[in-house]
Structure 1
Amino acid sequence: MKKILCLTLLGASILGANELESKCNNGDLIACDFLGLQYYDNQNYIKAKDLWTKACNSGDALGCYSLGILYKNGYGVKQDYSKAREFYTKACNSGNFEGCLYSGLLYNEGQGVKKNHSKAREFYTKACDGGNAVGCFYLGILYLNGQGVKQNYFKAKDAWIKACDGGDVSSCYNLGLLYVKGQGVKQDYLKAKDFFTKACEDGSSLGCFNLGALYGNGEGVRQDKKIAKEYFGKACDLGNQDGCDEYRKLNEQGY
């Protein structure tokens, strides 16, 4: 939440609270958003809510999204998923793609609304088309599992490529799995290795573990138990117990 607002409001970061309040009172909605964030950081959620309500009522998408955060988590208000969805949707319709993502998540989980994967897909698609990598990730999951859509590995792949390119590590890992299994693509261990490498380098324990498995089995790469051990060790360091077990086995074998 803080990261999103800070990125959006970087230009206001050098202003003091008094100046922000003056600007907000004069109709500067970005100032209202940023001042709300300051109150939010100080856990004065009531004051943050008042400022974000003012911004949202004036058509500010970020203010609406921020109100959704408060209602979803019960910060300064009674937790209310239905109201959270209302504000997320309003934000989404005004061009805030994070709002689209969270609207989709509420429909996907049935929070504040009846669970509806088809509606979730609509919002994930809007988020993804707007450049939201996490929205692309969840869209791919729906196509993978055939939830709210006909199962389609090709579309899952397309969504995850956009997500992976946008920095979503889980999507990079999932692409590796598609190439290992030959789902929606021709089986290609070399390409799987590329995606697992990207995931591993970005901190995915599963990406590192699967790289270890490829090197251990000689799939898409020349078999090399020492390199396999290295990647299993990385997976272990990232909290993957299977990686720890495989590292120990190879270590006992003298690799």
Structure 2
Amino acid sequence: MSSRILLFWAFLLAPVLAVGAPEAPRAPAPPPVYAPAPPPPATYRTGVEAVQHKDYRAAAPKLPGECDGGDGQACSYLAELYQKGVAVARDAGRADALLVRSCELGYMRGCNNLAVFRFASATTDAEKAATTPFLEKACEGGEGMGCSNLGFRYERGIGVARDETQARTLYIRACEQGDAEGCNNAAIAYDHPIGGPRDAVAALAAYRRACDLDRIDSCFWAAVAVEKGSGTAADLPRAMKDYSALCDRGHGRSCAAQGWALDQTLGGKENKALARTAYEKACELKYGGGCNSLGLLHEYGRGGPANVVIAAQFFDRGCEIGDANACVNMSRLYRTGRGVSLDQGTAITYLDRACELGSAAACKQLRR
């Protein structure tokens, strides 16, 4: 994720003191409180700079001249405004023409964006394949995102003949060019593996590189590798520290992983109580697996008193967020009437939802 620079202005107003005849002593008045003056409108040298500060209204009148003057980045930014209808009227044809101009001017991200833009509206295999050369140009020109997107096409056989070895090579190249998604894809290719032998050490290095490039999910998978001893010596304390830091950054799955380690790996009454807290934060951060795990702790009284009614609330929340296991557990409670009213119809509804979310066990139950 690219960082954005935010500008803040603060003003201090000096108080105006009146001078008059001396008065009788009195309690000192509290110091006056002054509201800061509103910041002046921001000024930017270029439309590109305005976009980078997310001031699209300021950017819109500047970008056309910059694009006409040969700035490919300005063309690409303006295309995105037309594509999304931000500060200008939505115009897909204008967006396409601007992306072509951007790519012709040698802005390789523009070539990548042109491929993605045209692919989104392609309806035939030939139209999809026709977008591939733009990704090839972007990748050859040093745009890591282009290499990563091209690698994905080779992995899945989209617009090109499927070639997992080539996909892996392109993911590695994307990572070398500093693309976070490319590094994550390279890690997956090393780990699962895709297009070559498994290499746990290289996978961990790629996850860490993606993490350094601010892809927080990759930080999580690096921590998982450390916990499990994949590509390095197993180190639960370090993994727990990493999970905690990621949880504090708002990554719900890391909160859940921290809770799981406390609950299942370390165990004990005190750790299970801490696990409840970790799962609760995961659930608050809308990670459904955390809601489901928290529901199980409440249902069976681990880390605190048992309360099936509260357990049902967390199962329901997890299912709503999209966790299949939480839907299965909610179905089970309705089927048995524990914590909720006995209701076979509602039990089947939750089982249907679990099946839709990919639970093979739920689908199998429905076929009985």
Fold agreement, TM-score > 0.5: yes
Other structure's SS at 2:243 match: helix
Q: Is the 8 A contact 2:108 2:137 kept in 1?
A: yes
Contact 2:150/2:170 (<8 A) preserved? yes
Indicate whether 1:56 and 2:94 are aligned.
Answer: no
Q: Is the 8 A contact 1:235 1:244 kept in 2?
A: yes
Query: Gapped runs of 5+ residues in structure 1?
Result: none
Residue pairs, 1:78-117, within 5 angstroms: 78=123, 80-117=127-164
1:163 and 1:221, CA in 2 relative to 1: closer, same or farther beyond 3 A? farther
Instruction: Give the alignment of 1:19-30 within 5 angstroms.
Output: 19-30=62-73
One-letter amino acid of the counterpart of residue 34, structure 1: Y
Task: Give yes or no for the alignment of 1:36 onto 2:83.
Answer: no
Q: 1:169 to 1:20 in 2, by over 3 A?
A: closer
Helix, strand or coil at the partner of 2:266 = coil
CA shift in 2, pair 1:25/1:249, >3 Å: closer
Larger radius of gyration: 2
- Where 2:94 maps in the other structure, the secondary structure is helix
- Counting matched residue pairs gives 248
Once the two structures are superposed, what CA deviation does each residue of 1:199-248 show, in whole Å capped at 9, x if it has no partner?
A: 43344333211100222246399952221101111222334444223323
Q: Structure 1 length normalisation: TM-score?
A: 0.85
Alpha carbons 1:190, 1:221 under 8 Å: kept: no
Q: How far off is 1:15 after superposition?
A: 4.2
Is residue 2:54 matched to residue 1:11? Answer: no
The residue aligned with 1:245 is 292
* Among 163, 171, 193, the residue aligned to 2:240: 193
Q: Deviations over 1:106-165 (max 9, x none)?
A: 112211112222111222112211221211111011111121121110110110111122
Contact 2:48 2:77 survives alignment (8 Å): no
Indicate the larger mover: 231-240 or 122-131: 231-240
Higher RCO, 1 vs 2 (CA within 8 Å, ≥6 residues apart): 1
Match of 1:207 among 229, 248, 254: 254
Aligned to 2:167: 120
Contact in 2 for aligned 1:215/1:222 (Cα 8 Å) = no
Letter in 2 for 1:108: E
Distance 1:161 1:41, change over 3 A: same
- Check whether the contact 1:101–1:123 (CA below 8 A) recurs between aligned residues: yes
Q: Please say if 1:71 is aligned against 2:118.
A: yes
TM-score (structure 2 length as normaliser):
0.60
Change (3 A) 1:190 1:223: farther
How much identity, in percent, do the aligned residues show? 27
**Aligned to 1:114, what secondary structure does the other structure show?**
coil
1: CA distance, partners of 2:226 / 2:128: 38
**Given residue 29 of structure 1, which amino acid in structure 2 is its aligned partner?**
G
Counterpart secondary structure, 1:131: coil
Q: Distance in 2 between matches of 1:98 and 1:222?
A: 48
Q: CA 1:163–1:219 in structure 2 vs 1: closer, same or farther (change >3 Å)? A: farther
The whole-number CA distance in structure 2 between the counterparts of 1:211 and 1:69 is 37
Pair 1:177–1:28, CA change in 2 (3 A): closer
Q: Is the 8 A contact 1:189 1:219 kept in 2?
A: no
Q: Map of 1:160-199 to 2, 5 A cutoff?
A: 160-199=207-246
Q: Secondary structure at the match of 1:224?
A: helix
- Do 2:48 and 2:63's aligned partners in 1 also have CA atoms closer than 8 Å? no
Q: What is the aligned partner in structure 1 of residue 279 from structure 2?
A: 232
CA contact (8 A) 2:48 2:74 kept: no
Distance, in Å, in 2 between the alignment partners of 1:244 and 1:15 is: 43
Contact 1:20–1:32 (CA under 8 A) maintained in structure 2: yes
* Aligned twin of 1:157: 204
Distance change >3 Å, CA 220–CA 130, structure 1 → 2: farther
